[in-house]
Structure 1
């Protein structure tokens, strides 16, 4: 069996990537280790063509078009052409993309096209209470119409996506995203007292601003507390940096407390795991997630985690048992949950241990790769 993933975010040293890239790398390497041929096709981070093999995964990074106004069409055409070329020499059984990835892709007979719901435009528009961009909405509808099957990474994303987009009575699987427990596992690192760690894109919908607003309340009780933010910057439509916005607008309001807030940039996954291990608490107050890889990753290291009570938060964490859930829009509630971890060491330790067991049971690569293979095989028989 040959699976081809479409993503422009496959991790490349020195370049930022998001959760989608991390997911494809984790599942791709696991599939390859189980004898499945895996290819990844996407546009390069730089203006050149690359082809390489990493951990059994064949990666094709295409030359990104710079043609103003038509780059989207040229890039889609390039991806379609590369898939057709690969299929000619190494027949592909499954092509998988995120929500809008099939919109302008030319389908090939005998290949099954799958959309995995990582959180598309309609999903996040509802979550963030904003309007639908007609162009992005058009792409998603067109892409969904082309798909032969769907995979939902959480019940929440499945239910809220279908408010706006039809699955057209096609096969739909429910499979959590896997966690690389070879990287994210309990470590012997010394914990740095009262170190708070966030990882993810530094943007509004990840709750970073509210976390910063919560930090002074924590600092009042624990003067040695520090807040460390790991992840790539996000940019407003006009190109302005969200990190710069936080530094210019939010940090000055904290006064001297701002000196204990650190923007650490992007790190490789192995380094992120070490930073989780150093933390006394990991906090992810997202306004919305489809599933959220960061919370289960930190849980796999047996860390006490504060996660959002919105969306799939309750699917991931049983409040007070495997972690704590917070109102991501309420800095006071975020602060109180952090303080609870700092003040009740026994409960925090118990939640961390329970969290690790839960991740091993529900998110381990070995379990979930088998579910993916079974689902893909069921499609290839059709």
Structure 2
């Protein structure tokens, strides 16, 4: 069957998360999917979202999108296999007019599935990818699942060149099956009417409190910053997590052990916040700091840039697709504590630099990360895959 630009499609997405009041999990991956599917629905395409690992089974429609929540099931043995087969059966039974299914790479959820649909896998960040980036051992089971899952896909999408190329090499996949399409934002939802108004000397970090986000390096940075700027504040937003290296049940508790007394009194952990409150905190921040050690793109980086914030980001691989260093943001390696301190100090003392950086950051997002443009690029690739 041949599709042309005028044809509407029926596309399905499989995901463990999606930011919605009826769905139990939401994160950066879920946000990127939400932005895409809402834009596709507005273009007239029919969208179905299958969300697995949920407390209950439920079907509902919102924003012209049909959601199928698939309840988590418990099995005495082999749950990793039987739950996947349960999801497979559910999708095949509810296939209807769906023409194509997109799934994430994380832990190879589509492993063992025999789907009656063409499958595209998007590299949101597999366990294989993150273990490689972080130079840590991977569980044999996860590697097996992810390799099995990607072997079933007709094509692959990655949000950055770095994430795509590394993932394709790790899974020994042909590069001609890869398309790089950045995540996008609904730009009308990211307007900062008063970019010159913010809380001075406030640093903001958003994301799960986990080693790979560079949270320990950020504590080191702030220990030095507060010595130079006693009024400085550092806010963390995101859920706590266990630590993969030590097995400690709370990364936040470990972070507190690294704080100086002066820094500790100027650091606030806000936990998880609703999405609109996160945006409010971005707008209030003087500088947004993301010294991450492992990402595929980093939604909070482009969200902060869209809101005209001065961003000091990691410089590893994927970040090269987001920021032009010194023009619309700054990039340093997370372990280069001194450069973070110097850059933040410079931004704290130069209002014009902060303003100019924010203006250029917003321009960059409008040019490269407009979901309306990126949605069209996704559709063209979907049609290309189906036509092939």
TM-score, normalization: structure 1? 0.93
Counterpart of 1:315?
321
> Does residue 1:208 correspond to 2:207, yes or no?
no
Alignment of 1:22-171 (within 5 A): 22-46=31-55, 48-87=56-95, 90-99=96-105, 100-108=108-116, 111-168=117-174, 171=177
Task: Measure the CA separation in 1 of the matches of 2:16 and 2:233.
Answer: 34
- Kept in 1, the 8 Å contact 2:235–2:267? The answer is yes
User: Which residue does 1:258 correspond to in 2?
Assistant: 264
Describe the shift of the 1:288–1:169 C-alpha distance in structure 2 as closer, same or farther (beyond 3 A): closer
Give, in whole Å, the separation in 2 of the partners of 1:243 and 1:161.
30
Q: Corresponding residue for 2:309? A: 303
**Which runs of no fewer than 5 residues in structure 2 stay unpaired?**
1-8
* Stretches of structure 1 lacking an aligned partner (at least 5 in a row): none
Using the alignment, how far apart are the partners of 1:341 and 1:75 within structure 2? 50
Aligned length: 374
Candidates 248, 255, 261, aligned match of 1:246? 255
Q: CA shift at 1:291, angstroms?
A: 1.2
**Which position in structure 1 is the counterpart of 2:5?**
none
Cα distance in 2 for residues equivalent to 1:51 and 1:240: 35
User: Any idea what the Cα deviations from partners look like across 1:173-211, whole Å, max 9, x if unmatched?
Assistant: 110011232322223374111111111111110011111
My pick for the range that moved more, 324-333 or 292-301, is: 324-333
Measure, in 2, the Cα distance between the counterparts of 1:307 and 1:265: 21
The TM-score with structure 2 as length reference comes to 0.91
- Cα distance in 1 for partners of 2:209, 2:188 equals 26
Cα distance between partner residues in 1 of 2:99 and 2:176 = 17
Query: What is the rounded CA distance, in whole Å, between the counterparts of 1:62 and 1:174 in structure 2?
Result: 29
Distance 1:193 1:73 in 2: 52
| Contact persistence 1:206–1:288 (CA under 8 A) | yes
**2-side partners of 1:143 and 1:289: how far apart?**
21
Q: Which residue of 2 is the match for residue 324 of structure 1?
A: 330
Q: Is the 8 A contact 1:284 1:308 kept in 2?
A: yes
